[in-house]
A and B are shown apart, each in its own frame.
Chain A
Amino acid sequence: MSLDSNIPEGPLKDKWTNHKNNINLVNPANKRNIDVIVVGTGLAGGSASATLAELGYNVKTFCYQDSPRRAHSIAAQGGINAAKNYQGDGDSTYRLFYDTIKGGDYRSREANTYRLAEVSANIIDQCVAQGVPFARDYGGLLDNRSFGGVLVSRTFYAKGQTGQQLLLGAYSAMNRQIAKGKIKMYNRHEMLDVVIVDGKARGIIARNLVTGEIERHSAHAVVLASGGYGNVFFLSTNAMGSNVTAAWKAHKKGAYFANPCYTQIHPTCIPVHGTQQSKLTLMSESLRNDGRIWVPKNLEDAKAVREGTLKPTDISEENRDYYLERRYPSFGNLVPRDVASRAAKERCDAGYGVVNNDTNEGVFLDFSAAIDRYGKEEAHVRGIENPSTDEIRKMGKKVIESKYGNLFEMYQQITAENPYETPMKIYPAVHYTMGGLWVDYNLMTNVKGLYSIGEANFSDHGANRLGASALMQGLADGYFVLPYTIGDYLAADIRTGKISTELPEFKEAEQKVTAQIESLLKNNGSKTVDYFHKKLGLIMWNKVGMARSIESLNQAIEEIAALREEFWNDVKVPGDANELNSELEKAGRVADFLELGELFARDALERDESCGGHFREEFQTEEGEALRRDDEFAYVAAWEYTGKPSEAIVHKEDLKFENVELKTRSYK
């Protein structure tokens, strides 16, 4: 099948407007006869469900949690970007577009990225109208902060709980439509397959997680907004239930999976404490506005810190290595995430890590300079002359508390250390997946009528996502893009009538789902699902993580295939099919991760270059920076399933850059 991204003609800045003017519309009376299924209630699925229902479609929405409000988007902390230029610091649609393309290391589509920047301002207006309480300044206007990889202040936030507030906004918009009967909500339901009839997505098979019943649901189009697949690494900052199942099942039914190897490893997470750990916790990137990252300059000091005989606060300024400020003077602590993460790994591999765990991996994120600076500012504002150091620190801490209070509390809760008094310890962790289902400009996969939005698709972030841009993309897709583009497709369906769930395709899909559940329960092996998930995670982290090589990737491919076989021979899943059974849910998800992992490693192996979050040891500059190879690799790798991950076929979508010049990223 050819890979047509359906990008509209015309100059970049007019494409979206022209496209909206030219696509087919469905008249309101006809929308009442059209059903749309949305899988997922995060920012993408929640906003899409609400908007589609407002437009008049009959929407059926699914999530595996007990309420749409608990989708993983709720956990986003730092903020959401928008080119509002409220700070008057020179921001514009073009600048946001350019930053996103550059931040993504020139591996995203110009047209999609420009549209994202274009609708970003509408998002903020919409959310404020819904009653989302963004942070404001004393003049009552919206406040902004800065995120990595950019030189303007365009991030809107609600303390460290931006995702929560935005998601509750989308949830409230959904609630209004649920009350009207326009959205039918299926909580505690997991989609286990997509049903394709005559080449078109016409429904899904879902399991009611409370009763275990397998249900058939039909619709004229299916939208997958099921989030990212970072949990293939077992340990990540994603919610425990985040999974690839919906996207993977679609892949197995023909949808291409694009750039699976593009993973974001976030630089500022709380380091691993031990082998019993179940997940990792992010410390928002916004902390890099005020925190300085360092390790000791001397190996002996690093060792003494690990052993607990030297306190970081006792290490003098000249014995500290603020390595980001040293290597990247112009962006300093605010370099993009991939760059910051690799720099931390470089220092820890060289022996300067400060955490006393198996790998010594960890660096300091230090707020003492900011506390001092803010304290002095406050003293000045209040007209206090010659304030004592104590007074300054006290006032400074208050300022820091008002900005990051909940993050500091969270840190202290987990580590039992007080970050106001001693620097935080942080280390990179898996956080976000740029790869996902391949979609065209209309956000439709290569399967007709099957759409994908939010983190589940591959679209806008190239090989690395900038901070605060995932929330922007989720809401852009759900509020402002999909509701229009889907009409173009559905316009042909106004006379189709209800899709019957008695069609043989539904029956067949249901039987396959039931068979997989039975075989998992019957297996009665000797090892738990977690055993396999942890093992997979270790392979991924060590061999397909922050640095990848031909050797490590080949090993990973072999080991994952072997582990998958062991899983199907030896996994033990307790309980029954017809009851709440979270081990069974996990087993199904891990089975899919075990397939995805292999494709992921293959994708990384094929891409003989380093770009963004994908770092191949064979391709680096003398200074250890990523070495991109635009001549050969300026393309999207879209994988087609043909029966086994090892036999997947790659389709290439060439990326054309007509509005920006391909350059080597430099943050120096």
Chain B
Amino acid sequence: MSGAKGLDLTLKIWRQKNAQSKGKLETYQLNSVSPDSSFLEMLDILNNELIEKGESPVEFDHDCREGICGACSLYINGEPHGPGKRITTCQLHMRSFNDGDTIYIEPWRARAFPIIKDLVVDRSAFDRIQHAGGYISVNTSGNTQDANAIPIEKEYADEAFDAATCIGCGACVAACKNASASLFVSAKISQYALLPQGQVEAKNRVLNMVKQAEKEGFGPCSNTGACEVECPKGISIENIARMNREFLKASIAE
């Protein structure tokens, strides 16, 4: 795998000391990066160089580095999670870039995602939307009915699963010109709407979650589909259509 020549890169990275201060793009030169390195390993290399030089390293969110925890973000060359379809930033590898490239690295930009430092943003609005209804009200008792008591058609089970794979990264918001959270919200609504267990609370769930998203300052959906294109998990905008139907149904019933 190794052996290929390293890449020499120019990095333009958003630096911002904290929420209050103004940020700006800084330029860094980084040489001989292995094309087998991941994008975040490339930032690790940069940070170790910066620390050795006595400069402050670049803060960015990450944890699993496998595309599943949803912690990593980064707006790379104008695209959430960078080039490459259906991957997160931590799954992006340097072989997607060329020797001599200039790479722009910025945080998610949205009113509801304030910057904490450098490339780290505050996505707690997403959690608060989930608090508003992202659950089925069932206590842990140890005598719930047998799991196979209600068969669920494979087709619906699979569709619910697909919606449930949202990792809560926020790329959909970053990709949207209105900074709408509709794809994220609709993923949870759809998962439950497709399952029998989710029916009882369906009405309040959709009303409350949508209301909370508005309150957090996410914009309206104007169906451009930019979110679906950038979503690393391929969450389909059909979920938004389903959410809208659920919302309408619930509003009429109000």
Chain A residues close to B by CB (< 8 Å) = 47, 50-51, 54, 65-70, 72, 74-75, 84, 86, 119, 122, 124-131, 133-142, 158-159, 161, 163-165, 168, 171-173, 175-176, 178-179, 185, 187, 210, 239-241, 273-274, 276-279, 281, 355-357, 409-410, 413-416, 479-480, 483, 526, 528, 530-531, 572, 574-575, 579-580, 582-583
Contacts and interface: CB of A to CB of B under 8 A. Distances in A.
B70 A70 contact: yes
Contact of B140 (A50, A276, A278): A50
9 contacts: A65-B63, A70-B64, A74-B68, A128-B144, A134-B147, A416-B93, A572-B52, A574-B50, A580-B18
Nearest to B129: A175
A278 B2 contact: no
Given A142-B147, A580-B117, A479 B140 contact: yes
B164 to A, nearest CB: 5
Contact of A129 (B36, B48, B66, B144): B144
Contacts of B117: 579-580
In this complex, the member of A131, A158, A414, A526 whose beta carbon has the largest number of chain B beta carbons within 10 angstroms is A131
B63 A72 contact: yes
A148 to B, nearest CB: 21
Given A273-B2, A579-B117, A140 B93 contact: no
Contacts of B50: 574
Given A130-B136, A131-B197, 15 more contacts: A50-B140, A65-B71, A70-B168, A72-B69, A74-B69, A128-B144, A130-B135, A134-B147, A140-B151, A142-B148, A173-B135, A173-B138, A175-B127, A239-B64, A580-B117
A128 B161 contact: no
Interface string B19-55: 0000000000000001011101100110110111011
Is chain B's interface secondary structure helix, strand, loop, or mixed overall? loop
A210 B116 contact: yes
A66 B115 CA distance: 13
Contacts of A69: 70, 127, 168
Contacts of A241: 63
A51 B142 CA distance: 11
Nearest to A416: B95
A159 B158 CA distance: 10
B56 A274 contact: no
A128 B91 CA distance: 31
Interface residues of B, number: 81
Closest 4 CB pairs of A and B: A140-B151, A172-B135, A133-B161, A128-B147
Contacts of B18: 579-580
B178 interface: no
B136 A129 contact: yes
Interface stretch (B7-15, B118-126, B236-244): B118-126
Nearest to B141: A126
Contacts of B144: 122, 125-126, 128-129
B157 interface: yes
Nearest to A238: B64
Contacts of A575: 56-57
B41 A276 contact: yes
B129 to A, nearest CB: 10
B60 to A, nearest CB: 8
Given A74-B69, A131-B136, A179-B132, A159 B161 contact: yes
A583 B51 contact: yes
A281 B130 CA distance: 30
B59 A580 contact: yes
Contacts of A138: 154
B45 A131 contact: no
A409 to B, nearest CB: 8
Nearest to B55: A574
B145 interface: yes
B137 interface: yes
Contact of B64 (A75, A130, A176): A75
B65 interface: yes
Nearest to B60: A582
A67 B55 CA distance: 29
A129 B59 CA distance: 40
B204 to A, nearest CB: 12
A70 B131 contact: no
Contact of A130 (B52, B54, B138, B142): B138
Contacts of A240: 62-65
Contacts of B77: none
Given A137-B154, A276-B45, A580-B117, A357 B1 contact: yes
Given A210-B116, A574-B51, A172 B136 contact: yes
B131 to A, nearest CB: 4
A274 B42 CA distance: 13
B219 interface: no
Given A54-B140, A210-B116, A580-B59, A410 B91 contact: yes
Contacts of A65: 63, 69, 71
B135 A140 contact: no
B130 A572 contact: no
A75 B2 contact: no
Contacts of B136: 129-131, 172
Contacts of A158: 161, 164
Given A125-B147, A136-B152, A168 B164 contact: yes
B146 interface: yes
B124 A187 contact: yes
B160 interface: yes
Interface string B175-207: 000000000000000011001011000000000
Given A172-B135, A357-B2, A274 B151 contact: no
Nearest to A124: B147
B142 A480 contact: yes
Contact of B57 (A74, A355, A480, A583): A583
B145 A129 contact: yes
B37 A239 contact: no
Contacts of B83: none
Contacts of B157: 133-136, 140
